Amino acid sequence: MSLTNRILLAMLAGVVLGSLLNVLLQGSLAPEGLRELLNDYLVAKNGLFDVVGRIFVSLLKLLVVPLVLVSLICGASSLGDSARMGPIALKTMALYLATTAIAVSIALFFASLVNPGAHVELMSAANFHPPAPPPLADVLVDMVPSNPVRAMAEGKMLQIIVFALLVGYAIAHSGEQGRRIGSFFRDMEAVVMKMVEILMELAPYGVFALLAKLFATMGLGAIVNLAAYFFTVLGVLVFHALVVYGLLFRGFTGFSPAMLFRKMRPVWAFAFSTASSGATLPITLNTVERRMGVHNSVAGFSIPLGATINMDGTAIMQGVATVFIAQVYGVELTMAALMTVVVTATLASIGTAAVPGVGLITLSLVLQQAGLPVEGIALIIGVDRLLDMVRTAVNVTGDVAVSVIVANSERQFDESVYLSSESLQADDLEQDRAPTI
Ligand code: ASP
């Protein structure tokens, strides 16, 4: 069975087993002793699922900094002349911002049609205190690292991008020495990519453990009360990923998006089970470079940048949530307020960290700007984790689609790799690793 299928099967098994455990643990079907045993040894903190899941996420995260650094250094140095960097950066940024603004607008439109908050009672327990957002000047200054080692130790993605671009540019302009160090980084990239592929073989186990734990502990009852909100967000997320991106992709590249979505399946599985674009980054980058044929001069820049600032799925949740909360509190949203929501949700998605649940925190910025009570966030916390998993998958879809579109327009794209239908085979890895005597 191909690795992709094994990952998808493990996802399904995790969801089914987790949901069964949930029923068993919540209800009185099993004797108390058995429930305690299952909970302690499998589900609870330090249980089997928790330990395997945490190890898996750490393994993913450990690759993020080395991979982004070497991939971007290779990409920037191979571009050689800096004149090419400008258009790549501009197109990438423009597409990231435009698609996010489209995403919020669609979310506002559908939410205004569905009226998800129309019949929801305001709970008096609503209670949420958001942290204060940092001033914009700090955000800009914070992009430039004063100490690259600290930037890497703290995993500050934008700082690492700035540093790597600078190193890559300098390598391209350092003559013979530059060529030597450049070839070192290319070798490093091959080695780190190989680490990603080795790790992917563990994915079925990791994905299974993460999902089994999550579904065993998740209170799905909350969905019933918030069904209209939940399914509006879900519907817009799926629509945006498949229809909006599908059309944009075909329009810009002329290729069918079917292959894109097919090759995205393992990336979706990682995004869904970790709910973190950041932890999924190594898989996204590997897929885009190795299986979709995007040259690392584009992928090394657009994928880490996208994981950090391009969050269409998050913006969609924030759009629907704003309409929902306005309706629950009986506040009319004017056209001006809706425009404000489009702008602030686009900016908030830039400021959302690529880890689970942060979209809900930056939602407070959007609500504040729209003049809505921030405590309203407490109303939707109950169903947020599941939506977080789906919106993270949408977030990475945007990164990948934009990366291929930009690479194609800049001729940094190998069409034959994109069109080759070879699936992700565990056997390939086995062969690669076999000793060559
Ligand atoms: N979990 C999302 C991501 O990593 C961010 C969010 O919306 O909370 O992309």
Which range (56-65, 113-122, 189-198) has the least confidence? Answer: 113-122
132-178 pLDDT, tens digit each: 666 778 878 888 999 999 999 998 888 999 999 999 999 999 999 99
Question: Is residue 353 in contact with ligand 1, taking CB distance under 6 Å?
Answer: no
Mean pLDDT of 413-425: 79
213-236 pLDDT, tens digit each: 999 988 777 788 889 999 999 999
pLDDT at residue 186 in the model = 93
CA-nearest residue for atom 7, ligand 1, is 359
Contacts of 51 (CB under 8 A, 6+ apart): none
Question: Is residue 393 in contact with ligand 1, taking CB distance under 6 Å?
Answer: no
pLDDT at residue 434 in the model = 40
Distances (CA, A) of 281 to 135, 161, 271, 401: 27, 14, 9, 14
pLDDT at residue 75 in the model = 87
How far is ligand 1, taken at its centre, from the CA of residue 75, in Å?
26
pLDDT at residue 134 in the model = 66
| Banded model confidence at residue 430, pLDDT cuts 50, 70, 90 | very low
385-411 pLDDT, tens digit each: 999 999 999 999 999 999 999 999 999
Mean pLDDT of 209-215: 93
CA–CA distance, 32 with 396 (Å, rounded to integer): 42
Contact 15, 211 (CB under 8 A): yes
Question: Is residue 311 in contact with ligand 1, taking CB distance under 6 Å?
Answer: yes
How far is ligand 1, taken at its centre, from the CA of residue 389, in Å?
8
pLDDT at residue 127 in the model = 57
| Banded model confidence at residue 1, pLDDT cuts 50, 70, 90 | confident
How far is ligand 1, taken at its centre, from the CA of residue 103, in Å?
15
How far is ligand 1, taken at its centre, from the CA of residue 43, in Å?
24
pLDDT at residue 354 in the model = 86
309-322 pLDDT, tens digit each: 999 999 999 999 99
Question: Is residue 161 in contact with ligand 1, taking CB distance under 6 Å?
Answer: no
Question: Is residue 274 in contact with ligand 1, taking CB distance under 6 Å?
Answer: no
User: What whole-number percentage of the chain has pLDDT above 90?
Assistant: 67
pLDDT at 435 over 60: no
10-52 pLDDT, tens digit each: 999 999 999 999 989 887 777 888 888 999 999 899 999 999 9
Contacts of 329 (CB under 8 A, 6+ apart): 122, 372, 373, 376
Q: Residue ranges of the alpha helices (H) in 254-376? A: 257-274, 277-286, 296-309, 312-328, 335-351, 358-369
Question: Is residue 399 in contact with ligand 1, taking CB distance under 6 Å?
Answer: no
pLDDT at 250 over 90: yes
Question: Is residue 354 in contact with ligand 1, taking CB distance under 6 Å?
Answer: yes
Which ligand 1 atom sits closest to the C-alpha of 311? 9
CA–CA distance, 18 with 10 (Å, rounded to integer): 12
Contact 61, 67 (CB under 8 A): no
pLDDT at residue 167 in the model = 95
pLDDT at 353 over 90: no
Delimit the domains of the chain by residue range.
3-431
Question: Is residue 302 in contact with ligand 1, taking CB distance under 6 Å?
Answer: no
59-79 pLDDT, tens digit each: 999 999 999 999 889 988 887
How far is ligand 1, taken at its centre, from the CA of residue 395, in Å?
8
Average pLDDT score, the chain? 89
Contacts of 4 (CB under 8 A, 6+ apart): 265, 266, 423, 424
How far is ligand 1, taken at its centre, from the CA of residue 313, in Å?
8
Question: Is residue 80 in contact with ligand 1, taking CB distance under 6 Å?
Answer: no
- Could you tell which of 237, 388, 397 is best to mutate to test the pocket of ligand 1, judged by most ligand atoms within 8 Å of the CB? 388
Which has the closest alpha carbon to 157: 168, 145, 146, 147? 145
Backbone angles phi, psi at 333, to 5 degrees: -95, 115
- Kindly report the CATH class assigned to 3-431: mainly alpha
pLDDT at residue 240 in the model = 98
Residue 379 tokens read as 């109303």
How far is ligand 1, taken at its centre, from the CA of residue 228, in Å?
21
pLDDT at 427 over 60: no
Cα dihedral 107, 112, 114, 119, rounded to 10, equals 120
- Could you tell which of 157, 352, 389 is best to mutate to test the pocket of ligand 1, judged by most ligand atoms within 8 Å of the CB? 352
Q: Residue ranges of the alpha helices (H) in 410-435? A: 415-419, 426-433
pLDDT at 433 over 70: no
